[in-house]
Homo-oligomer: A and B are copies of this chain.
Amino acid sequence: MRFTDKNDLIGVFRIMTNSDCDKRTVILDAALQLFSENGFHGTPMTLLAEKANVGIGTIYRYFKNKEEVISNLYKELKSESVAAMRENISRDMPIREQFINIFENMLKYYIANPQKFLFMEQYSYSPFINSSTKQEVCSAYAESLVSFFEYGKKHQVIKDLSTQIIFATANGQVVSLAKMHIAGEINLNDDMIRKAIETSWDALKR
């Protein structure tokens, strides 16, 4: 199996997958797919190895244990999603526009990456996870929004509510919509997304 054939002639193919075939990445890619579909506990390490086309031992060269595979994947995805959220945002834009762009970015990212979304949500509810990782990584995301909301409140464009409530209102809607969309309970298009976020803005604007 798996390149074991000694008389392998497809060297060219190998070269192609050589550089980006960074084993760590390959493992995390397979992990995302399997974890999002079958859950952490529904994904034995043997299956992960098979999906990633590596030996099990190889996984343990890159990650100390299963939990580290999960938490490393989470960290990478969270960074990626934070980056996605920040696209096309600048401090010069009107606050309303920033708000709408931020949450549109987020919702669109979730919808375009359902596996990543499902994995992150699963992770965030899993009592099985070392919460230090959760904290460590979430802060980047939260802080960035917190300062934005506080800026909006100071400029009297956003209601004078506890920042957490503001966060929960906007973020909660987006998460809820993504979940429903992925579950097939709703079929969001760009127009609906825009309307949904504007609705959220109506909640929070002054």
Contacts and interface: CB of A to CB of B under 8 A. Distances in A.
Interface string A162-203: 101101110111111100100001100000100110011011
A7 B24 CA distance: 35
A39 B127 contact: yes
B192 A162 contact: yes
A128 interface: yes
Interface residues of A, number: 40
Interface string A107-127: 000000000001001100111
A29 B172 CA distance: 29
A47 interface: no
Contact of A36 (B121, B127, B192): B127
Contact of A185 (B118, B126, B164): B164
Interface string A151-170: 00000000101101101110
Given A172-B177, A175-B176, 18 more contacts: A41-B41, A41-B128, A42-B128, A118-B125, A122-B127, A162-B186, A164-B185, A165-B186, A165-B192, A165-B195, A167-B180, A169-B173, A169-B196, A171-B176, A172-B173, A172-B174, A172-B176, A199-B203
